[in-house]
Amino acid sequence: MTENALVEYDQVTITNSYTGEAVVSGFSATLHPGEVLGLVGESGSGKSITCRSLLGILPRGFEITGGTARVFGNSAVGLSDQQWQQVRGVRIGAVFQDPGSYLNPSIKIGSQIAEPLRIRRGLNRRDAKTEVLRLFKEVHLPSPEDLFQRYTFELSGGMLQRVLLAGALALNPEVLIADEATTALDVTVQAEILDLFQELQQTRQLALIVVSHDLAVVSQLCDRIIVLRNGEIVDQGSVEDIIHHPRHEYTRLLVDEHEKYGLEKVLSPERSRP
């Protein structure tokens, strides 16, 4: 175990036991405090399944069948439901695509974000509300008091993602997973949310795992990128390595595909020199 590693996966295989198919194989990655790791690859390449294994929410029938998967020093294979509850949402927060589907449309937004603070941190109603308003400000939501009383249908997609992010940060996780968190948003809002991730990562010294099919998104945020294809790592390295020295043909395709739009904002003049 590397000293200080929050997550340490070594040659991990995840299998769909119904079909016998390995959906992720030989996956190795280590995440230290404050590091930003990107997982990129096309649909079905195993990005989400890998993240779900970190949260203890693999789909039914899916299991880790090979390698060593350690989360905060413990084997992810042997953790009980109770132990996962001390990890998921507590030490590892997560936000996904389609934030609205993770919130209850018939309960006011503020109460939903306050709930984990009351249950997990034991705050009373007033203190939980104060903390939610602070979190809303931290994610730059306008008029937090007003927002506290609103319902999901009254908010835009970008605002909902900020609300979900506030919820994911409520218990001060050390790791945040952003799984296609900006995919459904329009370009301007996507840029704002990416800036927010960057800001939060720095102010909170979060370790961040950014999952996207979009190389521009991971390039903007990440120190290191892993390229997945059909459940296997085909390339990995720094943003510069991946963009300028892609080793695998598939990475080259990803770079070519994105060259015309998106990547220029993460390429410094030095980086974008032919």
Residues that bind ligand ATP (CB under 6 A): 16, 23, 41, 43-49, 59, 180, 213
| Closest residue to bound ligand ATP by CB | 48
Closer of 48 and 251 to ligand ATP (Cβ)? 48
Closer of 117 and 177 to ligand ATP (Cβ)? 177
Minimum distance from CB of 29 to ligand ATP (Å)?
A: 15
Closer of 57 and 107 to ligand ATP (Cβ)? 57
Minimum distance from CB of 45 to ligand ATP (Å)?
A: 4
Closer of 12 and 117 to ligand ATP (Cβ)? 12
Closer of 36 and 211 to ligand ATP (Cβ)? 211
Minimum distance from CB of 43 to ligand ATP (Å)?
A: 3
Closer of 39 and 113 to ligand ATP (Cβ)? 39
Minimum distance from CB of 217 to ligand ATP (Å)?
A: 12
| Six-digit token string for 124 | 């009373």
Tell me the three-class secondary structure of the chain, residue by residue.
CCCCCCEEEEEEEEEECCCCEEEEEEEEEEECCCCEEEEECCCCCCHHHHHHHHHCCCCCCEEEEEEEEEECCEECCCCCHHHHHCCECCCEEEEECCHHHHCCCCCCHHHHHHHHHHHCCCCCHHHHHHHHHHHHHHCCCCCHHHHHCCCHHHCCHHHHHHHHHHHHHCCCCCEEEEECCCCCCCHHHHHHHHHHHHHHHHHHCCEEEEEECCHHHHHHHCCEEEEEECCEEEEEEEHHHHHHCCCCHHHHHHHHHHHCCCHHHCCCHHHHCC
Minimum distance from CB of 271 to ligand ATP (Å)?
A: 26
Minimum distance from CB of 64 to ligand ATP (Å)?
A: 14
